[in-house]
Structure 1
Amino acid sequence: MLIGRDTERRAIERLVAGARVGSSGVLLITGEPGIGKTALVTEAATLAAGLRVLRARGTEAEREIPFGGLLQLLRPALGELDRIPAPQRDALAAALALGTPEPPARPSGLAGGEKGRGSRQAVAGAGSAQERFVVGAATLSLVCRFAEEAPVAILVDDAQLLDLPSAEALLFAARRLVADPIVLVIAARAGEVHPLAQADLPQLQLSGVGLEAAQELVAGLPVDLVASLHRTVAGNPLALLELARDPEQLRRVPPGVPVPVPALLAEAFAARANKLSEAARTALLVASVDDGELGVVARACADLGVDFAVFAEGERASLVALKEGRVEFRHPLVRSAIYSNAEPAQRRAVHLAVANAVQDDDRRAWHLSEATLGTDDAVAAALEVAGNHAVDRGAHAVAATAFERAARLTGTTGARALRLVAAGEAAWFAGSPERADELLREALALEPPRQARTHADELRGDIALKCGSPARARDILFAATETADPEAAVGLLADVVNACFRLGDAAGALQAADELSTLLQEIERPGTRVIGLLACGVAKVLSGRGGTEEIRQALALAPSVALERDRRRQVWMMLAPMFLRESGTGRALIEEAMRERRDQVAVGVLPAVLFLLARDDATTDRWADAAASYDEGIRLSRETGQTTELALNLAGLAWLSAQQGRAAECRALAAEAMGICSERQIHLGLAWSLFALGDLALGQGDPQAALPQYERLAEVLTSLGVLDPDLSPVPELVEVYLRLGRADDASAVARAFAVRAGEKGQPWALARAARALGLVEDDEQKFLEALEWHERTLDVFQAARTRLVYGAWLRRARRRVDAREQLRRAVAAFDQLGAPGWADQAAAELKATGETARRREPSTADDLTPQERQIARLLSEGHSIRSVAARLFLSPKTVEYHLRKVYTKLGIHSRPELAEILEKGGPART
């Protein structure tokens, strides 16, 4: 019976009622041990009568068992496994060790004599951590399939004791439950560090019950004693029940001293256990070190000379119960009290006995590691095998612990270093960058072989680039080239250029390009040459030293070689077209990368891909698609802890918001991006944020407010030596200077910019340069030249900007008829894009010619949220509901929920109507 929890019960009752009518509900219940979390989970099960129930409970003994908690939870739903998308099905089957698909071939290893472990993973970088998220996506798909027959209640108790991979998968699914008939109730101990506690889930924090409820709980005791107990334990129900057994315990507490309730409970349980016979205490200790399976406990007890019948003592003392083939402790604190109260030598002896009793090799290895003093190479080798099994299942957190323990047990320095590298790699893929870096630095201090050293440095560089400072990544990777072989050095230097791109470090990029040029003279492998040429070209463009020829060579060579689908390939094949910024050159590569990553459920690498995709869309007329990609990139960056990609996606969306006239949104996004960028020296994000603030003011017709933003941006780029004209705000500064009457300044910067644009020789830069010269030289031919260059790019916005200034110039020259043609097209383009401030300026200029602009009515598609727009676009292109759900890591019912909102907002009822409206709002693409 649930006593004193009426409010909490009603909260759960509402969630269950919501699931019965088709909506999702999530609740995380937290509190100290004994506060009543388990009672509420049990009450939730009672309230969920008639629902399909999935239930799991975390245990200390299974914290290192990969996906043990998830298997416990999902077992009743596994009949639906074949009905979820194949990549998710295979990943979940491998994670749960169901024996369906073969695990993917693991790259040769650095640990335990497996040559070059992780060499392919090293190239793939953090993308290999995608298993962390694909299992979460599969969990979501499976429970949503399970809920199609009847509403589902998912109940998880002691979530702080779940193995980390299970907790992460559960959290991934919990964040995406929106419109499915599913209620998720999680109970976890307060103050414990685990993924669910650190998440943004709806939370109910329990405090003690009131005095009246306390009196009901311990009926029969004197009122004054109950009141004293209640004050001592602050209403903790379990503490009340335990201390009521022996009220004299209170005399040991000094008057007025607050009592930590969990410690008091542990003391009470330990005191009760100490009253048992030595054999009974040993039997309870055996049960405490494993998962309580009766067969294992019985065999271990026999090995220790203990009669299994002594468990009856523990049952009589209400410490354990034997049921359903297991030894179950009354409360996790009972287990903890018994284990911690034992002598170290006794614990080791028990672990050894359990190791001899279990039949699973991995569990045996874990127990042997607890039973070992000093080093033991055989146990270390067994733990390494367990770690490799965890990697195969995507349980990188468990693998990291296994490899690290194996390293501590390893007697030889070389083997210890290799296992530490493997531990660092697994920790990085598990989303623990600080722990990973520490392990990798420890490994490097042991001077591992060259291949392992290069791999460790690549991983440290990737960690620093994504979660730390690009400057640190650059320095780590540069230093690593000194000991790497030529092929590996090309990859390292390509990563250096990538770091320098984010840093805005032109000098560092150019140094890397010089070294690449030298190395490429010796490299014959086509795949390596493509990566090297692309990185070399980008570095030179950034530094204003040409580079487009190298990029074109690489793009021409790429189709003829079988490049592995790895991180470097995708980064560079997407970056290259952006540096050329012309129509028809490599544009499909970005879409191909996105399709690959979505098909692979590569959530961990999507933020970077989404950023590049959005940046590409933002330089065309697909602004709504760009906004959707930036929005998803921001959400996934936050979820995966990738601060660099978060800053870049924020800055990109700030720029787009500026053009759309969303002032408050632009400033908020830019402020957050600049905070991250300033702290971590991500100068690329700082540059785009400043560009966004300048464009916002200029689009609002306020050149005075735009001036300091553009000038600061120009100063930042100059100080960094970044001479790529595509990052320069000079064409915008020219307009500002002219509006403020500073013609000489406008002329000087326009002519200098034209020189740099000419050196680059690409149409986007040449178009902007010609526009700026047309303004300062009053030269119509320059405007016409700019429009010709614009025809060779896909940037509708910049072309409209040129038509606006050209039309205004024609109006001032009293050529009203000619001006109207340019200004009409500018108004139409700005309206089509959704740039109201710029459209208003063009319309005002047109009105000054004597003609009123025919403005585009705002499309109802403009009212869609980024996620609604994403879903609408994919559905309008013919994708099924389930396909869209899989691509966006949502449930089908959540997609249907958003689709209903889309139809309501747009006032339509069919997909053909949807496609027509989206087409009117601007071309869309996959």
Structure 2
Amino acid sequence: MVSGEAGIGKSRLLAEAGTRMAARGWPVLDVHADRLERRVLYAALVAALRAVRVDSTYTEGLRREAVAALDLAVPAAFGQACGAVTRLFTALAATGPLAITVDDLHELDDDSLALLAVVLRRLSSAPIGLVVALRPHLAAPNAAAEEMLDRLADEVEVVRVELGTLSPEELAAVIAPVLGAEPDKDLVAEVHRRADGNPFFAAEIARSLAESGLLAVEAGHAHLTVAPQAVRLTRRNAVLRRVVPLADQARAFDDLVRAHVVTADAPDGYRFFHDIVADALYDEIGPAECRRLHRMIAERLLADRARGEAVDPLELAWHVSESAVPGDPVAVSVLTEAAHRALTGAPEAAANFCARALSLLHDDADERPGLLALRCRALARASRPADAVGPGRTALDLLPPGEDRFRTATAVISSLFLLGRVDEAIAVVDGQIAAGPAPATLHAQRAVMLVFAGRTAEARDEARVAAAAVPASPAEDVVVCGQLAMLTSMLGRHAETIEFADRALRASGTSTTLQLQALAVCASTEALAGLVSEATWRLRRAEQLAEETGTAHAFPGELGLTRVVLDYLGGRWDGALEGLRTVAAELETREQATLAAALTAVELEIRTWRGELVLAARLAARPAPTMRNMADLHAHAVAGYLAASGDVPAAVRVLRDALTDPSTAPYGCLLLARLIELAPDPALLSTLVEIASPRVSPWSKTTLHRTVGVARADRASLVAAVNSAEAGGLVFERARAQLALGELAGDAAPGLIEAYRTFARLGAHGLRRRAGRRLHELGEKVPRSRSRASGLLTESEERVARLVQQGMRNREIATALHYSPRSIEVYLSRIYAKLRVSSRLELARALDAMDAVS
């Protein structure tokens, strides 16, 4: 990290570093940030990606994929963009180190900074060198840049280089080429004093003195021809004095080129020679002149539109936004129109247009309630629930009864739900229903909120009201059915869950947005209920629809969560952990606490079954979620971790605390089954049979049959568990049932062998060893414990390799596996030799390829 004041030589240092790294054969991603491009999402990063050298058609394809993901410029596509850029960086660093240079990091847009932070942390073990330059002590510091550097400092080694000013002797070498002669000591001292030792300003001052005729060269040395106090030249004037308007604009531009103020950048373009020139020019113009220029452009565009000419409303809105004055009705109208147009494709921009329009209105303006409502809905669409609540609640206080008010209420309630603030959501919906006749949407939302609050009887009554109401539109029907699918899933009525999910899709008609909403919301609901077949179908249909219509950015949280849960239930644990990284970053950015809690529970289960208890401990220590279903999943996973750690009493306490009312607990079957495993109790088993028997979810049926089979030594129940799991696509649950059956019956060796292989593939080696011991007892041949890595690695070596694949560093792996860092180095040397790889990145790629084949 190179820091220093403007003109001190940061850019020159980065350019030289990039040149030298390129000479070594490194691909160099050269990012140049500036104040103007910061207004455009990913602009500087995309320009750098397009210019970086690639060495294969495969990498070129990844480059196009990354640029396309960034060109979406939609905040909801953040996770997709992170994944695409990660794949590109991985490919670029596959054959040798990758260098990334970022000049003026503080001028990079916030989305690019967030993306680089996520991607570079994922690739912290890859051979990537990052060199950034930034100015310290800014008047308006870039918090996102500082956060990025802080995050990286936690993962990688950061070397800080502070560039100071030059001495008079060093400065003499800088200005000598400008003057064409060696400066004498007095001239050097004067330039050094005026430039404060800054090389850029020193060169500009020297050039200005020479052009002003204030220097003479005698005997090969340059000196001042006037007294120093007669020179009226400051650092800023030295930069700007050559930007003098001339009568002939063409001659003026030629003068600027000759003076190196602007320089050719492309066959048809020019740029300022240095960012300092641009900054000085804009500072000299001042905000008032900027507003005047924006106003001139806005007025011309408005006149063009009045004559019937085509005008881009978003471009018009930008100029209006920069130049409007409070109370301007035309500006408010233009910004409102732009917000409506941007609502679907660019909700962040729509929210910003609304905010600007609101800043132009007085507190009692008639347009204010509608703009607040629109801003709330835009922020909700942009997955910014925390920001959506404030303007939405204010709008609800101001809006008259009607569709706009109900749509705003729906957005506020959904946002509060995602934030885990269920009681507040209930208060909002109660207030809206009390104010007069309410649409079916609000009744459906209220029903869901009530069941999350534990008021199950009221929730059932409210659900009947919602189901009996006639939706006013297809959009309302989709929302109502999605909410009722969620409600019935919470109540264990999974046949109705599937029915409402199908109805939501039928109601969506031909609308792509409604179809994606119906598919995404219901797929995540079904996945969390263990309805693997149904959720898989909806996920595939949503992905196909998104690809066909170019809306891959839609509903990233719901669809990402669905993929992770289905990979977990379907026995693709490595895929689940890989997906967790991207989806977790997306949900963290969007503050979607409810969905994020499900990811934590899934990862905690996988880490516990794999015996990675150090990693599991960090997950178990996270605060318990407030949402009832997520709290149940969290308790189930934490109890499993505590039991695996040897603290069975604590695990039992966690489960009992979560089972205050087993009949209404959303995951009561899972909680009871785990409690019975740890503390067998016939009464608890009877309760499990009572609440699980009516449920049709394969996950519930498998859990019931396996638990009953083990507790009662009932072969038929265990066979039913195996069959239910197989029919439901529950790979891990099927292996657990096969293990239980094999431990009970002497003739179930084929299923036991299959379970052994499943546990080995998943990395659940504790269960694999149990299956192996039972096969020994039965006199059966135990399958060789072949590593998934082509059968070459031992169990310990594979565990180390898999943690490397997940991006962990040696000391983290040592902590997780209770080894010394030196032991990890020895293991890695053996792994590299066996798999014929030479780096951590090559190892990860080799394991990825083997996983794909398996």
Alignment TM class, shorter chain as reference: 0.5 to 0.7
Matched ranges for 1:426-575 at <5 A = 426=378, 434-447=386-399, 450-466=402-418, 469=421, 472=424, 476=428, 489-490=440-441, 505-507=453-455, 511-523=458-470, 532-533=480-481, 535-543=483-491, 547-554=493-500, 557=503, 562-563=508-509, 564-566=511-513, 568-575=517-524
Q: Tell me how far 1:187 sits from its aligned partner.
A: 3.5
Cα distance in 2 between the residues matched to 1:364 and 1:142 = 36
Deviation track 1:792-830 (CA, whole Å, cap 9, x = no partner) reads 5433444444454555556xxxxxx45767766654554
Who is 2:768 aligned against?
A: 839
Among 212, 217, 224, the residue aligned to 2:171: 217
Q: Which amino acid aligns with 2:352?
A: T
What amino acid sits opposite 1:43 in the alignment? E
Partner of 1:646: 596
Q: How does 1:392-403 map to 2 (within 5 A)?
A: 394=346, 397-403=348-354
Match of 2:142 among 193, 199, 216: 193
How many angstroms apart in 1 are the aligned matches of 2:64 and 2:405?
36
Three-state SS of the structure 2 residue aligned to 1:38 is helix
Aligned to 1:417: 369
Q: In the TM superposition, what is the alpha-carbon distance from 1:652 to its structure 2 partner?
A: 0.5
Task: State how far apart, in whole Å, the 1-side matches of 2:521 and 2:416 are.
Answer: 19
**Aligned-pair CA distance for 1:630:** 3.3
Equivalent residues in 2 for 1:904-923, closer than 5 Å:
904=846, 918=854
- Residues 142-167 of structure 1, C-alpha deviation per residue, up to 9 Å, x if partnerless? 9999999x999876543433555666
- Measured in 1, the distance between the counterparts of 2:300 and 2:127 equals 43
Decide which moves more: 367-376 or 425-434. Answer: 425-434
Aligned 8 A contact 2:386 2:591 in 1: no
| 1:765-784 matches, cutoff 5 A | 765-774=700-709, 783=718
Whether 2:76 is the aligned partner of 1:130: answer yes
Question: Quick one: structure 1 residues 195 and 751, their matched pair in 2 at CA, closer, same or farther if it must change by over 3 Å?
Answer: same
Cα distance change on mapping 1:139 and 1:619 into 2, 3 Å: closer
Report the AA paired with residue 660 of structure 1.
Answer: R
Between stretches 441-450 and 173-182, larger displacement belongs to 173-182
Counterpart of 1:652, as a letter, is V
Q: Which 10-residue stretch deviates more, 470-479 or 532-541?
A: 470-479
1:321 aligns with 2:270: no
C-alpha separation between the residues in 2 aligned to 1:639 and 1:692?
24
Per the TM alignment, residue 837 of structure 1 is displaced from its structure 2 partner at its CA by 1.5
- Cα distance in 1, alignment partners of residues 712 and 119 from structure 2: 60
2: CA distance between counterparts of 1:557 and 1:367?
45
5+ unaligned residues in a row in structure 1: which ranges? 1-27, 96-127, 247-269, 288-297, 739-745, 811-816, 871-896, 919-926
In 1, Cα distance between equivalents of 2:610 and 2:125: 31
Structure 1 residue identity aligned to 2:462 = E
Equivalent residues of 1:828, 1:855 under 8 A apart = no
What do residues 432-485 of structure 1 show as CA deviations (whole Å, max 9, x unaligned)? 655544444454454377443344444444544446656655655665566798
Q: Which one of the candidate residues 306, 311, 331 is aligned to 1:379?
A: 331
Match of 2:9 among 7, 21, 36: 36
Q: Which moved more, 1:659-668 or 1:855-864?
A: 855-864
Aligned equivalents of 1:699, 1:211: Cα separation in 2: 60
Aligned-partner Cα distance in 2 for 1:147–1:782: 53
Query: What is the match of residue 355 of structure 2?
Result: 404
Counterparts of 1:686 and 1:585, CA distance in 2: 24
Q: CA deviation at 1:728?
A: 3.5
Supply the distance in 1 between the matched residues of 2:607 and 2:168 (Cα, whole angstroms): 57
Contact 1:154 / 1:184 at 8 angstroms: preserved in 2? yes
User: Which residue pairs with 2:607 in the alignment?
Assistant: 657
- Report if aligned partners of 1:66, 1:398 keep a CA contact under 8 Å in 2: no
Q: Identity of aligned pairs, percent?
A: 21
Change (3 A) 1:314 1:425: farther
Give 2:358's aligned amino acid. A
How far 1:765 moved relative to its partner? 3.1
Residues in 1 aligned to 2:608 and 2:97: alpha-carbon distance in whole angstroms: 44
1:161 to 2:111 alignment: no
Residues 630-677 of structure 1 deviation map (CA, whole Å, 9 limit, x = unaligned): 344335445665444333212201112222222222222332xx33x3
My pick for the range that moved more, 842-851 or 548-557, is 842-851
Moved more, 176-185 or 514-523: 176-185
Cα deviation, 1:594-642, whole Å, max 9, x if unaligned, reads 5555775745743432333332343344444434433443354456654
Whole-Å Cα distance in 2 between the matches of residues 146 and 769 of structure 1? 50
Larger RCO of the pair (alpha carbons < 8 Å, separation 6+): 1
- Aligned position for 1:756: 691
> Is this contact kept in 1: 2:804–2:844, CA < 8 A?
no
Q: Which runs of 5+ in 2 are unaligned?
A: 174-183, 209-231, 305-310, 791-797, 808-838
CA distance in 1, matches of 2:252, 2:747: 101
Structure-2 separation of matches of 1:899 and 1:147: 8
Q: Distance in 2 between matches of 1:170 and 1:827?
A: 41
**Residues 769/32 of structure 1: CA separation in 2 closer, same or farther (3 Å cut):** same
- Contact 1:229–1:240 under 8 Å retained in 2: no
1:842, CA displacement in angstroms? 4.0
Q: Write the letter of the residue equivalent to 1:691.
A: H
* 1:132–1:430 Cα contact (<8 Å) kept: no
Q: Are residues 763 and 333 of structure 1, via their aligned partners in 2, closer, same or farther at CA, if it must alter by over 3 Å? A: same
Contact 2:611 2:764 in 1 (8 A): yes
- Tell me the amino acid that sits aligned with residue 519 of structure 1: A
Tell me the equivalent position of 2:786. 857
What is the SS of the residue equivalent to 1:760?
coil
Amino acid across the alignment from 1:403: C
Question: 1:592 aligned to 2:541?
Answer: yes
After superposition, give the CA deviation of every residue in 1:546-590 in whole Å (9 maximum; x if it has no partner): x23422433564675555454641344314544764675554223
Secondary structure at 2:598's aligned position in 1? helix
Separation (CA, whole Å) in 2 of partners of 1:56 and 1:155: 6
SS state at 1:645 partner = helix
Please state if 1:691 is matched with 2:640: no
Per the alignment, residue 222 of structure 2 pairs with: none
Find the partner of 2:682 among 747, 753, 760: 747
1:608-647 aligned at under 5 Å gives the runs 608-638=558-588, 642-647=592-597
TM-score scaled by structure 1?
0.63
Any conservation in 2 of the 1:467–1:642 contact (CA below 8 Å)?
Answer: yes
CA contact (8 A) 1:533 1:551 kept: no
Contact 2:168 2:189 in 1 (8 A): no
What is the TM-score of this pair, normalised by structure 2? 0.68
Deviates more, 1:586-595 or 1:178-187: 178-187
The answer (yes or no) to whether the contact 1:137–1:169 under 8 Å persists in 2 is no
Letter of the aligned partner of 1:841 in structure 2? R
- RMSD over aligned CA atoms reads 5.9
Once the two structures are superposed, the pairs formed by residues 210-359 of structure 1 within 5 Å of their partners are: 215-217=169-171, 272=234, 321=261, 328=272, 332=276, 335=279, 339=283, 352=295
Classify 1:724/1:67 alpha carbon distance in 2 versus 1 (closer, same or farther; 3 Å).
closer
> Residue 845 of structure 1: CA displacement?
4.8
The question of whether the paired residues in 1 share the 8 Å contact of 2:4 and 2:162 is answered with no
Task: Give the SS at the match of 2:261.
Answer: strand
Determine the C-alpha separation between the residues in 1 that align with 2:262 and 2:532. 72
The residue type paired with residue 590 of structure 1 is: L
**1:778–1:402 CA distance, 2 compared to 1 (3 A):** closer
